[in-house]
Amino acid sequence: MQDSDAKFGRYPSLEGRVVLVTGGATGIGESIVTAFAWQGSRVAFFDIQDEAAKLLVDGLTADGCPAPLYVHCDLTDIAALKSAVEQVLAKWGGVDVLVNNAANDQRHTIEEVTPEYWDHSMATNLRPQFFMIQAVLPAMRRVGRGSIINMSSICWMIPSTGVPLYIAAKAAIVGLTRTLAHELGPDNIRVNAVLPGAIATERQKLLWYTPEYKAEIMASQALKRDIVPEDVARLVLFLAADDASAITNQSYVVDGGWV
């Protein structure tokens, strides 16, 4: 275990569990993959960023973690999504934890949105969450347990501006989470959502994390520090573990007290 992880929780129930993370090569997804790998989980992740994915796998393997399985997958292609899930099932026989993390918060105006742009945004930010759940569901039902964690956002609660379709998708994810928690509860499958705030990922720093935006964030947050991807990953670990076995149908905010 890394020295930086020594002071944080260890979850014995996650050791050996099969964990599948979408959008796992960079940002919050990278931290989630890393956190599960350090728990001793068998981690698979999907992405389209092959170089970043290789660096992550090589780094974790060099650190002594179980080697994650990376599958190149464009989640807007549902046939490819299903095929990628089958690769995970073929390797490990099941999926115990699904983290629906992949998304794209590209900025856009109302005027820019065409029907084609709408469809692409939903195909990126909402549709894969449902079809990933559908694809892993038979394996979870076979073993009579599962934890599904859908990544939403506080953007629809603030509310943010400049990303209306992304916000619509993130709000819909909370509704999807709540209904599926009741649909799947009889199968002992838990479904929760995590709603990050302004997370200081490398992508955010590169594209939008200006001094002016950071000042706005700090004025809004109760905690006057950057909220980082590892902060989100630690909550995801708890929701995946048996420690949270009675928790479902919930939405948890990680935003330093913004909302």
Domains and CATH numbers, the chain: 14-250 (3.40.50.720)
Give residue 147's identity as a one-letter amino acid code: S
The pLDDT tens digits of the residues spanning 129-168 come to 999 999 999 999 999 999 999 999 999 999 899 999 999 9
Catalytic residues: 166
Confidence of residue 94 (pLDDT cuts 50, 70, 90): very high
What pLDDT is attached to residue 6? 62
The pTM assigned to this predicted structure is 0.95
Contact 149, 194 (CB under 8 A): yes
Confidence of residue 5 (pLDDT cuts 50, 70, 90): low
**Angstrom distance (rounded) from CA 47 to CA 242:** 27
Alpha helix segments (H runs only) across the chain: 27-38, 50-62, 78-92, 115-125, 127-143, 164-184, 202-207, 211-220, 229-240
